[in-house]
Chain A
Amino acid sequence: MENILQQVGIDNYIYLSTLLFCVGIFGVLFRRNAIVMFMSIEIMLNAVNLLLVAFSTYHQDAAGQVFVFFSMAVAAAEVAVGLAILVAVYRNHNGIDIDNLKKLKG
């Protein structure tokens, strides 16, 4: 375990996950396709997972890895629900471009 961190170093993990997170944010903000946005969200989620695992190793504490398992299970369920919603949206609107979804306008 330790040698992995010795080989790469904790700071690199932090940079990577920050980078992944930012990629996710920009994906969510600037893409109009709902599925791509969805994927971006998943990237953000996994960026956090990566960080958790890295810190868990750094601190010699397995709890972080356990959390990641939970988080991934929840994410899987969330993906199922999210995709189902997207399918429903597609059927009603013939598309999943979020610019067409303005029913919540006040």
Chain B
Amino acid sequence: METNLALLLLFAPFAGFLINIFFGKKLSKTLTGTLGTVAVAVSFAATLYFFLQVLQTKTPVMVNLFEWLHLANFTVNFSFQLDQLSLLWLMFVTGIGTLIHMYSISYMHDDENMHKFFAYLNLFVFFMITLVMGSNLLIMFIGWEGVGLCSYLLIGFWYKNQEYNDAAKKAFIMNRIGDLGFLIGIFILAYLFHTVEYDLMKAELENGWSVDKAWLGIAMLCLFIGACGKSAQLPLYTWLPDAMAGPTPVSALIHAATMVTAGIFMITRLNFLFNLTPDVLEIIAVVGAVTSLVAASIGLVQNDIKKVLAYSTVSQLGLIFLALGLGAYEIAVFHVITHAFFKACLFLGSGSVIHALHGEQDMRNMGGLRKVMKITFVTFLISTLAISGLPPFSGFFSKDEILMTAFHHNKPLWVIGSLASIMTAFYMFRLLYLTFYKDFRGTEEQKHHLHESPTLITFPLIVLAILALVGGAISLPGMSWLNEYLAPVMAKPAEHHHLGNTEYMLMGIAVVGALIGIGVAYAKYIKKGEVPPADAQITGVTNVLYNKYYVDEIYTAIIIKPIYAIGSFFKNVTEVALSGFVFGLGRAATLLGNQGKTVQNGSIGFYLLVFVLGVCSILGYIFLVK
């Protein structure tokens, strides 16, 4: 029963994928969309069942399908593990997934390849479930690669645009770099523990299995590189903003709520190992904090609505890594969840806006939408307040916990995180003001067509906005349901911060910081009514930020150019030399043949003469010389 239900959970989206990819073209658009949505909804229902069951019994459900690999002393099972952590993850993957599928029915309705879109989305959910459910690192790796593939397919979904294809390739290659690290990490762990099952590794550690700390550190670092690639951290983050080339639901599902959290999931899953390597945790914390600041500062000046959200995603992921690095895995998970809610809502909201403006993404050509798109506006506002970290919205609690932990462990990181938060508040309200306030700045034509989106689009927005509003309740400071719930999968008990004066002061600072950010945005874009200048007029620091610190250009200069140089060296020098040699041999043979063929002159008399001379010389050799 449990096995079957777990398989249903896993394979429902895969079935949806198969049907849509093979028969989708013949089915009507509404039907393909509904099929895709139902497939994920089935998974959600199954997840809910297991979630409630595990909530009661507190024992994880293990499903072992078969033995996958068996080498001398190393066995890998094809098995799944539904415990507190994976179920929590599945809850929001399938839950938000269902909402986004529903949203896509309307959003993608005019696309000729809608069936393909749903097939890919379903395949993505399938791989994400595999990633989360697997009971060992190899199964996680299957899902890990699979979501990368789906991300590639979906970013390049509008494949007729070469820029989008490039963005897809960029995402894939960046992810591959990370994946290599991940794979090496798995190999080292397999070498150290003779197993890749989470539970067995944990048990071995508890039984006093001695592990070479140096190797473990390298393994953890490699795994972290993998997480960097998937979760868009420095220095591998540049693919995420470009990934906005995909349709907006993809950005919401993959590049905000689910796939990018895979790295965080992996680190949380292996928290018992990461705890043993404090140096690696230190690195994670620093990388996270720096990423969050860098991405937030770039977000300050972007004008593409989706780019702003993309950088805010990178920045928030950075904060989550900061929490991971401080060993506060519960808080990281908490922020992942609240972030999934409000970021999905923000992306879907921006999709709704883009939909209403028929593909316009530049905020300089928006404005005043608050009057026409009431539902979108309100939900967007709630999510913006949540991401800015104002109470009582969900983002406040999770972000505040992160900063609080940072304050207790490492003050400089707290400063960086707080700065990033203030910037977040600023650019999010900048986005809100530019999009929804003042007057419409687009063309008359667009203005004429402005409309609120249909129910299929607004319903997910409303649900997500409500979740963004109340999501903080799962882990209130002082009485955290989440910490208790996650306790069985964590190696160390969660830290309890006694709510003293310091804590209230920190909260106050965070709120005031957010208010300052909002205030600056208000003064600039409402009071003064500024509109960001056209690209050519951007100068100074703004220009550096607008061009994302020229990171792409730097990568081009130090990595891509040299590789091209090596390539052209091989093409122009080595290949010429080699082919000269090979063709030279051929030419020599032809030349020799041309010389030799004069012997064959066609004269029978000559042949006979040579023949007789030959016989004579052979006979002469035999009788005289020998």
- Which positions in A face B, CB cutoff 8 Å? 25, 28-29, 32, 98-99, 101-106
> B612 contacts which chain A residues (CB < 8 A)?
25, 28-29
- Whether A99 touches B603, Cβ cut-off 8 Å, given contacts A29-B608, A29-B609, A29-B612, is yes
Task: Tell me, in angstroms, the Cα distance from A47 to B139 when the chains sit together.
Answer: 90
A32 to B604, CA, bound (A): 10
Q: Which residue of A lies closest to B598 (CB)?
A: A106
User: Is B602 a contact partner of A106 (Cβ separation < 8 A)?
Assistant: yes
Q: List 14 A-B contacts (CB under 8 A).
A: A25-B612, A29-B605, A29-B608, A29-B612, A98-B603, A99-B605, A101-B602, A102-B601, A104-B600, A104-B602, A105-B600, A106-B599, A106-B600, A106-B602
Task: Give A105's nearest chain B residue, CB to CB.
Answer: B602
Q: In whole angstroms, what is the CA distance A32 to B598 when docked? A: 22
Selected contact of B604 from candidates A25, A101, A106, CB within 8 Å = A101
CB-based nearest A residue for B613: A29
| B528 is an interface residue with CB less than 8 A from chain A | no
Interface contact A28-B608, CB-CB below 8 Å: yes
Bound CA span A45–B220, Å: 93
B597 at the interface (CB under 8 A from A): yes
Bound Cα distance from A98 to B605, whole angstroms: 7
Structural contact, A106 and B597, CB atoms closer than 8 A: yes
A103 x B608 contact (CB < 8 A): no
Q: Is A103 a contact partner of B609 (Cβ separation < 8 A)?
A: no
Chain A positions within 8 Å of B597 at CB level: 106
Interface residues as binary, B597-626 with A (CB distance below 8 Å gives 1, 0 otherwise): 111111111001100100000000000000
Closest 9 CB pairs of A and B: A105-B602, A106-B600, A102-B602, A106-B597, A98-B604, A104-B602, A105-B601, A28-B608, A29-B609
| Distance from B607 Cβ to chain A, minimum over Cβ atoms (Å) | 8
- Provide the residues of chain B in CB contact with A28, threshold 8 Å: 608, 612
In the bound complex, CA of A103 to CA of B604 (Å): 10
Query: Residues 557-580 of chain B: 1 if any A CB is under 8 Å from the residue's CB, otherwise 0?
Result: 000000000000000000000000
Tell me what chain A mostly uses at the interface: helix, strand, loop, or mixed.
loop
Query: B609 CB to closest chain A CB, in angstroms?
Result: 6
Chain B residues positioned under 8 Å from A104 (CB to CB): 600, 602
Contact between chains at A32 and B605 (CB < 8 Å) = yes
Give Cα A106 to B602, complex, Å.
7
Bound Cα distance from A105 to B608, whole angstroms: 14
Shortest CB-to-CB span from B618 to chain A, Å, is 15
User: Which of B598, B600, B605 has the largest number of chain A CB atoms within 10 A?
Assistant: B605
Residue interface bits B228-264, CB-to-A below 8 A is 1, else 0? 0000000000000000000000000000000000000
CB closest residue in chain A, given B609: A29
State how many angstroms separate the Cβ of A21 from the closest Cβ of chain B.
11
List A contacts of B608 (CB < 8 A): 28-29
Instruction: Check if A102 sits within 8 Å of B605, measured CB to CB.
Output: no
Per-residue CB proximity of B524-539 to A under 8 Å, as 1/0? 0000000000000000
Distance between A89 CB and nearest chain B CB, rounded to angstroms:
11
Instruction: Give bound CA distance, A104 to B600, whole Å.
Output: 8
Minimum CB–CB distance for B309 against chain A, Å:
78
Chain B hits for A102, CB < 8 A? 601-603
- Minimum distance in angstroms from B614 CB to a CB of chain A: 13
Q: How far is the CA of A99 from the CA of B602 in the complex (A)?
A: 9
- Given contacts A102-B601, A105-B601, 19 further A-B pairs with CB under 8 A are A28-B612, A29-B605, A29-B608, A29-B609, A29-B612, A98-B603, A98-B604, A98-B605, A99-B605, A101-B602, A102-B602, A104-B600, A105-B600, A105-B602, A106-B597, A106-B598, A106-B599, A106-B601, A106-B602
Contacts of B603 in A (CB 8 A): 98-99, 102
Give the residue name and chain of the A residue nearest to B599 (CB).
A106
Q: Least Cβ distance of B606 to chain A in Å?
A: 10
The residue among B597, B601, B604 with the most chain A CB atoms within 10 A of its own CB is B604
Q: CA of A105 to CA of B598 in the docked complex: distance in angstroms?
A: 8
Shortest CB distance B586–A (Å): 20
A106 — which chain B residues lie within 8 A by C-beta? Answer: 597-602
Q: Within 8 Å CB of A98, what residues of B?
A: 603-605
Tell me how far the C-beta of B162 lies from the nearest C-beta in chain A, rounded to whole angstroms.
56
A103 touching B605, Cβ below 8 Å:
no
What CA separation (Å) do A102 and B603 show in the bound complex? 6
Distance, CA A103 to CA B597, complexed state (A): 14
B605 CB contacts on chain A under 8 angstroms: 29, 32, 98-99
Once the chains are docked, how many angstroms separate the CA of A53 from the CA of B427? 119
CB distance from B467 to the nearest CB of A (A): 88
List the B side residues contacting A103 at CB < 8 Å: 602
Chain A hits for B601, CB < 8 A: 102, 105-106
Nearest chain B CB to A41 CB, angstrom units = 10
**Min C-beta distance of A106 to chain B, whole Å:** 3
In the complex, what distance in Å separates the CA atom of A101 from the CA atom of B608?
14
Complexed CA–CA distance, A105 and B609 (Å): 16
Residues of A within 8 A of B602 (CB): 101-106
Contacts of A105 in B (CB 8 A): 600-602
**Nearest residue, chain B, Cβ from A98:** B604
Complex Cα gap A7–B251 (Å): 119
CA distance A99 to B604 in the complex (A): 7
| Separation of A102 and B600 alpha carbons in the complex (Å) | 10
Query: Which residue of chain B is the closest to A104 with respect to CB atoms?
Result: B602
With both chains docked as a complex, state the minimum distance between the C-beta of B599 and any C-beta of chain A, in angstroms. Answer: 8
Give the docked Cα–Cα distance between A104 and B601 (Å). 7
CA distance A105 to B607 in the complex (A): 11
Bound CA–CA A28/B607 (angstroms): 11
Interchain CA distance A101-B603 in the complex, whole Å:
7
**Which residue of chain A lies nearest to B601 when distances are taken between CB atoms in the complex?**
A105
Chain B residues near A32: list those with CB within 8 A.
605
Closest chain B CB from A71 CB (angstroms): 19
Question: Which chain A positions have C-beta within 8 A of B609?
Answer: 29
From residue B591, how far is it (CB to closest CB) to chain A in Å?
Answer: 15
| Interfacial chain A residues near B600, Cβ < 8 Å | 104-106
A25 to chain B, nearest CB (A): 6
Q: Which residue of A lies closest to B607 (CB)?
A: A104
B617 → A minimal CB distance (Å): 14
